[in-house]
A and B are shown apart, each in its own frame.
Chain A
Amino acid sequence: MVGGHLSEAAAPVVEVAALRKRYGRTLALDGIDLSIRRNEVFALLGPNGAGKTTLIHILCTLLKPDGGTARIGGFDVSRQPLKARKQLGVVFQEPSLDGRLTVQENLNFHGLVHRVPYRLRMRRIREMLELVELSEWRNALVRTLSAGMKRRVEIARALIHDSAVIILDEPTVGLDAQSRERIWTYLNKLRRERDLTLIVTTHYIDEVDGCDRVCIVDGGKVLALDTPEALRARYGKEQVRITPRDAAARSGILAQNEGAVAEPGGDVVIPGATHAVVDRLLGSFGTGISNIAIERPSLESVFLALTGREIRDTAGERPTIARPNSRSGEPVN
């Protein structure tokens, strides 16, 4: 473990090559290629029906791909599913706890099923409950917990066994800002301590910003894969934000600049603007402007440029999960 650390660090933990999956007529995955490095936080971003959940289900071995390969820790998910699953901790989008069991019983179940020896299991349960600040709730029935607490139990559960890769499908959806921040604090702490690789799908653009690399998928294809900075530089557009002093200046700026957008707060935003535009605006409106700035491109604009959709359109709703409606090949239960 320690000896090979350097070479292992360079090798990808997850490798996906030419992965394809079709449901009837719909092509859910159309040749996905990506590799995820050890110890990175990897975000999967895409509109509804982009293929994110299908990809994740294949990585979890819940679904079999039609073509291509996916490897986790070097094990092919189709040929060696048991070994691949051993490397894996999963937090599903939909809760998968047993509400009739207590927190402790749910965690113990997970530890037993993942073959964690007794002492280590008890220690991990204690540690993980401390980490997610639910130690006092260990004997509570899970169905009595709030949604945020259940999520934290699920995250604790995914960390009971020694996994190399943690997959989190929308881990923070439907949670308040405070719970979201907490969850990310735990995840980052664990990533450092346990040398974990995190694969996350999320709708929250600010969460994506904190990831090491972002993969934008749509229509079952990888549209872009890079660090948030590089994606901004390549696909994002800078914009000029002007705070006019009065209504007259505001309407003047809007009239003179094609493509200028009036924001509800009173600011005017001009996409794709440059220093030349700033100079010109200052020249013609001068004192009519109380504030002017060139803003660096947001990931939202990157997403918009690549998919043609606003991420807000997709946020909030639940991404479609393929439901098993025929008995062959559909995602399973």
Chain B
Amino acid sequence: MLGALGGIYAIWLREVKRAIRDRGQLIGGLSRPLVWVLILGIGLNPYFRAEIYGDVRFVVPYTYLQFLFPAVIVLNVMYTGVQSAVSMIWDREFGFLREVLTSPMPRSQILFGKILGGATVAFAHGCLVLLVAEFTDVSLRTQDLFVGLLLIFGLAFGMTCVGAVIANRIRSFEGFGVFSNVVILPLYFTSSSIFPLNPALSGAQTRVVYPEWLVAIIKANPVTYAVDALRGVFIGFNQFEPGVGPVVIVAIVVVAFAIALFDFSRQS
């Protein structure tokens, strides 16, 4: 039993060490919140619930910066979680995976250690976003923060599992750019991250609706519910039932881990 923990610890520690030594990843993790929150957030903040004519009656009780903030946490977690897929592909290409596969560790523990390591790094990157909370008028109250961290870790684990599924199924590696363009950004933009589902933010806007297809895509995207869960915790705004988000996150973890484990055990 203790031996199993040692092996998982070794794999976890390697992931964490590699992430700390990878300057590029660290810079990405820091620059993303700055660009998305400070530039995009501050830039679009005035346009968000504009009421040019008549009296200003805001339907929603938050600013664009506040609205965007939880979504950027999700973005940072997704980038790093999926990046660990790249690390898995490299392990396979450069032979390191063999070193682990010829050890007496069961495949399930190898995969778990790897995902736990990736999830830890993704969690840390999600937490980096919390550093800019002050500029967004999001107050981090202790009890909310704890639930928030729990949700971020769940999401980090789930996204790393998704990364593992992709890594197992990919045979040729085209670079991280493909991942970011094919997986991360589409999921991010269709998760109601940068605009709410209902555009009725102010009086004049109540007459506007989004096309049905867009709403359908957003509702089908599981990331939508993860963003919603974090919004519920950090700014007290939910577009869906508050319980749905955590359930979806747990579902992502369970389903993606099961698929990843199935693929990984079958290969070897």
Contact = CB atoms under 8 A, between A and B. Distances in A.
Decide whether A and B are members of one complex. Answer: yes
Interface of A: 60-62, 82-83, 85-86, 88, 90, 92, 94-98, 100-101, 105, 108-110, 112-115, 157, 324-325, 327, 332-333
Interface of B: 3, 6-7, 9-11, 13-14, 17-18, 21-22, 91-106, 169, 171, 266-268
A152 to B, nearest CB: 16
Contacts of B94: 94-96
Contact of B7 (A62, A115, A157, A332): A115
A100 B24 CA distance: 14
B121 to A, nearest CB: 14
A113 B11 contact: yes
Interchain residue pairs A-B with the least CB separation, the first 5: A333-B92, A112-B10, A115-B3, A96-B95, A113-B103
Nearest to A154: B99
Contacts of B101: 60-62, 332-333
Nearest to A99: B94
Contact of A98 (B6, B18, B105): B18
B43 to A, nearest CB: 37
A94 B267 CA distance: 20
19 contacts: A62-B98, A88-B102, A94-B94, A95-B95, A96-B95, A100-B17, A100-B22, A101-B18, A108-B10, A109-B10, A109-B14, A113-B6, A113-B11, A113-B99, A114-B103, A327-B171, A332-B97, A332-B101, A332-B268
A114 B92 contact: no
A157 B96 CA distance: 13
A21 to B, nearest CB: 15
B6 A110 contact: no
**Most chain A C-beta atoms within 10 Å of own C-beta, residue among B9, B17, B92:** B17
A113 B113 CA distance: 11
A103 to B, nearest CB: 14
Contacts of B21: 100
Contacts of B92: 332-333
B104 A100 contact: no
A112 B105 CA distance: 10
